[in-house]
Structure 1
């Protein structure tokens, strides 16, 4: 069922941000509010001309732009370029799905999640940067994809539950990868500590 993955993952994020994340973290309150707003407005949709649009998609895009606007000019330009690369990859994936569906060898959400997630990991080093280019890039891709399909009179809802499922999956994969990266650093420091202790004792 479309939307199930989105609700599970976003509610998990909200519970973690609200009850388990360090209260001194400056992003804790902002992120918990954003996640809750996205969940609340996920089922609301409206029309702009002939195009149907769900509210959560544009809300995510606006919040991502607000975070991007806080970056310095050089970082902002690079993030914008990365966001465009993600947009092109997102639209290309969907177009290949239409014109050559045989290469979809397993569930498309997972294929897209792994592909876009890996691209974000290559382009950005921090979890914040990865999430920003994924959210802004995929939503920009949604608008571009809907525009392309409208030329052929194919209706496509922007920011639907199918998109939210894919976006939630990509976000969870990036958070999981970031956790593994940090866990590796912690283990490395832990082993260095023991190695130093052995050297002192010898």
Structure 2
């Protein structure tokens, strides 16, 4: 079944194609969005991605209500589970994306979906592919693959150490040590000189 005008419904307009009970449940979860934002953030999602994950959770809940009717449990408890699942899927996807980026020596430090790039300054996007490749090569030369993966997840996607650990098969303590090593390496005069003028930016 096509999701006609789904985005407008999920982003604010009340759905009109649900049963009365399902509509009531939708309204219940809509009244507690602050609570659900806290649940998503508590799941480890970076602050700038909370609305994106909440939107995904609302789409999933709406589809369930439309296809299966009202939930038998508490809608608050059910939507809490939906938010946690959406958060987990988001974080797992980020970890895979960053690991793939780090593993591919031909790739650029660039994520077209989120506007991740190496820039000469916070204001100027480096357009030249050679500049981007140079920046990524400097980072890859300075870090191990694991350090670069952990560093990008922390610095670009605002993930905390326990969340990074969960999605990289490590421990929070090991992640903190890895981040410290990576940040210490960035302070080395030789690396700082090579990276002069570069910054990691997301939009």
Which bin holds the TM-score, normalised by the shorter protein?
under 0.3
Q: Which structure's residues are more often helix, by fraction? A: 1
State the TM-score, normalized to the length of structure 2. 0.26
Specify which structure has the bigger relative contact order, considering alpha-carbon pairs within 8 angstroms and separated by 6 or more residues.
1
